[in-house]
Structures are given as C-alpha cells and as structure tokens.
Structure 1
C-alpha cells in the first residue's frame, strides 16, 4: 500500500511540476505597452485558462527572435514588416488554421504565413502612420497631401525618423502618394528628399519626438497614431494627426513564436486568445490602437477619443506588400542614409 501511495504521490508531484512549468513568456518592448499586455491581456487569459503568463521587456524584439536564446520566449511582439521578414526564415513556429480558429476573423492580408501556408504571425492590433502636427503652429489643411512635407516653407520645422524606419515607412508611403508602390519607390524619392531637407532633426526615440512636438521645436512629422492618442490623453490637446488624401500607412503589430520554445499547446491557446476580439479590444482601448479582428466592438467612449470608427479608418488605410518592402529593406536603408548624408553637407 505504501508503495502505491508513494507512486501516486510521485506522479502527482510530477504532474504539478509539469503544470507549474507550463508558462507562456511574452517578450515585447518596455514601457506602457508591456504593462498593458500584462494587466489587460495576460491576466484575463490566465484567469480563464489557468495557464501562467509573464511579460519580459527587451530593447529589440526582432533581434530577440534571431538570438540563439530565442526559445526562452514563447511569444514575441514584432513590427509587421519584421514579422514578414522572419516568415522567410526557419526561426518561427508554424500553426494550422485549425489550431488558431480565431484566424477566420482576421483580414487575410495581415496574417503572416510561411511558405508552407502555416500561420507564423498573429496581428494583434494596428496603428497608422499619418502626419502629426502642433496645432498652434499648423493646421490639417497644411498637410492635405503627403507631398506637402516637401514644401520649402517647412524648412527647419519638420523631423524625420531614423533610416531603418524611414526606408520602410516614409519612403513606402511617399511612393504611394506619388503613384508608385512597394515595388516601385522611385516616385517617392523627390518628396523624401524634400522632407529630409526640411527636417530640423532625425529623432532617435518616441520620447524625443514627443518633446520636440510639445515644445514646438518641430511643427510636424510623419508619426504614429498611438503616440498622438497617448499625448492627448496626457493633456497635450494641441498635438493632432491628419490622414492625408492619399491615405495613412497601416502598421499592424504581430506576435510570433520562436521555433523550439517549450509549451507549444499553451502557446497555441495564448496566440488564439491574442487573435480574438476580447484581448484586442482590451489592448486597443488601453494603448490607443485598433483591433485587427473584424468582430471586435470598440466602446463608444473610446471611439469618441479617436474621433472616428474602425470601419472609416480601414477605408483610409494603405496596406503595401510588406514582403516586397522587406526584400528591398537593406538597399533602401542605404539609399535613405545617402540622401540624409547629402542633405547634411
């Protein structure tokens, strides 16, 4: 009898140990987004499923996926174009549509798949890239078109991001505004040159840009809708965003799972939860984003802070072929660096 009891006890301990180790660790950038993820996504998921979750803050999420130690994370948030780039590697775990049933409610163009058609990236929300301006110094009418950024009257009054993002975001959007696309960015080069010539500075962080806009050192900048939402929530009502007539650049953020990470089943459940309306509404309302899930219903109070609806925003979004953007990324970074270097002479 004692032997049987001992065996049962050992089995129970082993089961508990396995259960306790079944933790989903999610790596993302530091700051408010990490806190929102932990409090408004992971806690409800853990309460519903009993699966332990944890947020880990890292400075470079795509770099974390490429690291030899990537398997320590079960999920990693990356920018969409980085997720598309990673989809062509053997670094991501793939899931079938049956394993992620919520995928049926996501726009197909923002679900990241590998060459075998497996899901390797879940889009959890999107922001957009528009023209952000200080309304004490300019108006929405001043930036009805992306081309207005090249107007010489803004000399020394604008800002631009670092080449790694300017190549992917600014150049791509300016190409579209001038009749090009992700494959043919040449039409956007002249406008980009004008923007660079008008730029007072190349901003190095979101906090840096927030300060420049708030103090009025910079009048306008191509920037992120989520940052405007946060600034306005903090009381800076003179910081506004306009979507030019050519549209805004849709920027989805995706969650990927490094290949070889433990607890695949728990991770699968977590990814499906991230794809669902409940988590996407929560993270959007707390972070200023827009759900990618088509069934998500945003509270009216939150829509009032946005000043529009999800449906209306979607109509104004430009979604380029991010695979093409990624495939040409290095050469376009070099191009932007050269343009900036020439402007500085």
Structure 2
C-alpha cells in the first residue's frame, strides 16, 4: 500500500510540475540496459523536468518501430545500422537542430538524419567490435590483425555470430582490414571464410558466448567491448579484448522516435537529455559504453577500468558508411549463409 501511495504521489508531483500528465515511454531490449536506463537516465530526467518516463522491454526494437502499434512508444533504442535503415522510411519523427541543441556536441557522422536533413536518431553511446579472447589461452599479440582469425592454428577454437550480424559487422570489418570498404566487401570474403572454417560454433545469444569464453571452450571471438566490461565486472578477469591494428568497428546505439507517438515536446526534451553529456556518462559508466557527446568527461576510475581514454579509442575506431551496409544487408545475409553452408559442408 505504501509503495502504491509513493508511486501515485510521484506521478502527482510530476503532473503539477509540468501542468501535464504526458509520459515518455522508451522501448529497449530487456536486461541490465533497461535497468540502467530507468535508474540512471529516466529518474534524474524526471526529477529535473517533472516529465514522467517509463521503460518498456521488447525483444526486437527495430521491429517495434516497424510495427503498426509503434506509436505507443515515444522513444526506441536501435542499433545504429538499423537506425540508418529506418531513416529512409516515413516511420520516424524528425527534429531540427534548434529543437535538439545538444546535437552540436555530437560527431556529425553519428547523428542520423533523414533526406530532409532533420534529426531522426540520437546516438547515446557507443561500444566497439574487437577480438575478445580468454587470456588463459591466448594474448593480445595473437590478434594484432583481423587477419589472424583465418590462421589455421585456431581451427576449432573460435566462434562466429549469426549471419544477420556477421553480414553487417564481420564482413564489413574484414573488407576494411583487407583494403576494401562498405561498398567493396569482396576483399573481406576470404577472411570471413577463414573464420567460419576455424569456428567451433555459431553463437546464438550473448549469454551463450559468455559461457563459451568463460569455460575456455572457445579461445577467441569477434565480440562486443561492452560485454567484456560486464564479464570483468562480474569477476571474469581473464576475458580481454584486442583492437587489431586495422581498428575496431565503432558500434553506436541510437534512440529514435516513431512518427505519430504524441507528446512531441516532452519527447524532444527527453531526446535532448539523452544527447547530453550527463546522461551519456551515466549510461557509459553503468553499462560499459563510451559517450558520443564530445564534451563528456568520464570519471578517472572508469577510465582506469577501461585502460584507455575516450579520445584514444575514437582514434582507433573504423566508422563505415552504414547506409551502404543497410542497402545491401539482405543480399549480404544470403551470401554469409551460403558461405557458412559451403565451408562447413
């Protein structure tokens, strides 16, 4: 009863503060990220503005935007390349630079815009794709280049992600490592074949891969920096990540607003808050990411845990043309599926 009264009182206070009962509903993936968003972004935002907020967990965020019921959400977190894909549709609300003033502090190449130049995606943080390894079985020197993944000495000791991600992330990164780019992925095909040949398994979930790395069943895998951070935080200090000499693949995560969702002014204020340094620092420190806001100053303790600085990481990141990747995504998924079938048979 007391908890109900407390919650009701909070809603009343927020309503009185703004003169409205409008609520901003943010859809994202379930788990720790959703809790971080609620506790370290939405709670302080509501305290500062009086605008009520709520997190809703969904299994497929981009699918939620494309759903006929998308307007029930005011904000949705998507992967960057999905956000780029959605920017070419009429599914997203657009905002001017004046409406999102914090955009001036974001790298232009990671702000998602539609054909009219309006902002349709706010990059809230980034992680990166590197080579994650169990350092009881290997070390960073083993993975100085992405090309090392094709070395026959790793036969049966690596893992690969599903084709939907391998087509967007692996194939793109390997093409870059061999002199190609997002438009010319042919140079990456042989390296991808080598990884497939060396892979013990195709992992089906992040939890699955965490287990394989932790038990040593898999020595190394192209994987996400944020997952390494979480594993180390949970006590698995033998899981490390290497950024090869060709760079790591920068993976920004963006928040979009489905068109027709309502509460536009409250949503605009919320998106601007997400673009700001304060919220991005909170998300990064609690979730193992890196702010996209150029004015964000990460705490010394967090930088020590990362073992580097934001500026140093940015200098090592490869940022491909995600529009080209999206436009060719289905075709490349088919290619990767065929490669996996051919190499393993």
TM bin, normalised by shorter chain, reads over 0.9
Q: Give the structure 1 partner of residue 116 of structure 2.
A: 116
How far is the alpha carbon of 1:281 from its aligned partner? 0.2
Q: 1:170, 1:304 → 2: CA distance?
A: 29
Write out aligned runs for 1:145-156 (5 A): 145-156=145-156
In the alignment, what sits opposite 1:212?
212
Deviation at 1:262, TM superposition (A): 1.2
**Pairwise CA distance, 1:343:** 1.8
Q: What's the TM-score once normalised by structure 2's chain length?
A: 0.95
* 1:32 is the counterpart of 2:11: no
Aligned 1:168-179 pairs, distance under 5 A: 168-179=168-179
Query: In 1, Cα distance between the equivalents of 2:160 and 2:20?
Result: 47
* 1:175-324 mapped onto 2 (5 Å cutoff): 175-324=175-324
SS at match of 2:166: helix
Q: Which runs of 4+ in 1 moved over 3 A?
A: 18-21
Query: How far apart are the structure 2 equivalents of 1:327 and 1:190?
Result: 22
Secondary structure at the counterpart of residue 21 of structure 1:
coil
- C-alpha distance in 2, partners of 1:183/1:172? 9
What is the correspondence of 1:86-101 to structure 2 with a 5 Å cutoff? 86-101=86-101
Would the alpha carbon gap of residues 263 and 29 (structure 1) be closer, same or farther in structure 2, given more than 3 Å must change?
same
Q: Which residue of 2 aligns with 1:8?
A: none
Structure 2 residues without counterparts, runs of 5 or longer: 1-14
Cα deviations across residues 106-154 of structure 1 (Å, max 9, x unaligned)? 0000000000000000000000000000000011011000000000110
Offset, 1:21: 3.4
Cα displacement string for residues 157-203 of structure 1 (whole angstroms, at most 9, x for unaligned residues): 00000000000000000000000000000000000000000000000
> Partner of 1:343 in structure 2?
343
SS, match of residue 286 in structure 1: helix
Question: What is residue 125 of structure 1 aligned with on the other side?
Answer: 125
- Determine which structure has more spread, i.e. the larger CA radius of gyration: 1
Q: Where do 1:37-48 residues align within 5 Å?
A: 37-48=37-48
CA–CA separation in structure 2 for the residues paired with 1:147 and 1:125: 28
Deviation at 1:344?
A: 2.2
Q: What is the root-mean-square deviation of aligned Cα atoms in Å?
A: 1.0
Give the structure 2 partner of residue 76 of structure 1: 76
**Corresponding residue pairs, total:** 330
Calculate the TM-score normalised by the size of structure 1: 0.95
Aligned to 2:327: 327
**Structure 2 CA distance for aligned equivalents of residues 202 and 21 of structure 1:** 47
1:12-68 deviation line (CA, Å, top 9, x unaligned): xxx97x955300000000000000000000000000000000000000000000000
Distance 1:110 1:229 in 2: 23
SS state at 2:117 partner: coil
Task: Give me the whole-angstrom Cα distance separating, in 2, the residues matched to 1:285 and 1:141.
Answer: 28
Q: Give the drift of 1:101.
A: 0.1
CA distance in 1 between partners of 2:320 and 2:21 (Å): 41
SS in 2 for 1:236: coil
2:104 aligns with: 104
